[in-house]
Structure 1
Amino acid sequence: MKQTATLRTESGDSDPAEIGRGVRQGCLLSPLLFSIYAEMMMIEAMEGVEEGVRVGGELRKDVKFADDHGMVAETKESLQ
């Protein structure tokens, strides 16, 4: 069974496009694969970053909850 997707924009819906890759919606592997990808992305983004914010004596450079991620720093320049 092939899946299709349609994009909804201000000027109307696109023609259906066939989805050839990826995990089917509702697949049990989806959250695990997302977590692996998101963790690797955050590790790469924070590589070499020494700054952060101390919380309870522990240096925190990122905050994660479910499918949300955030980076923490003392200044906006530190985030760039």
Structure 2
Amino acid sequence: MPTLDVREIPPPERHPMIHQTFEDMDAGETLEIVNDHEPKPLFYEMRAEVEAFDADGYEVDREDDEKFVAKFPKQ
């Protein structure tokens, strides 16, 4: 499972990096993203713009105040 820890990445660079990584994945893979907040805006963006994103399989776990781990599955 590809994992991106974007907490140290400047915010303007996060979404393009995530989209590129997701695009490069094979169907059936899941992208795990570690972030400092719940990535709801990214979820809505992916659901609206990325046909291969399996929104029903999305999950997010809050591990502490500044660590959220989200799973973005690809159909």
Name the TM-score, length of structure 2 as normaliser.
Answer: 0.28
Highest CA radius of gyration, 1 or 2? 1
Larger relative contact order, structure 1 or 2 (CA cutoff 8 Å, min sep 6) = 2
Name the TM-score, length of structure 1 as normaliser.
Answer: 0.27
Structure in which a larger fraction of residues adopt helix = 2
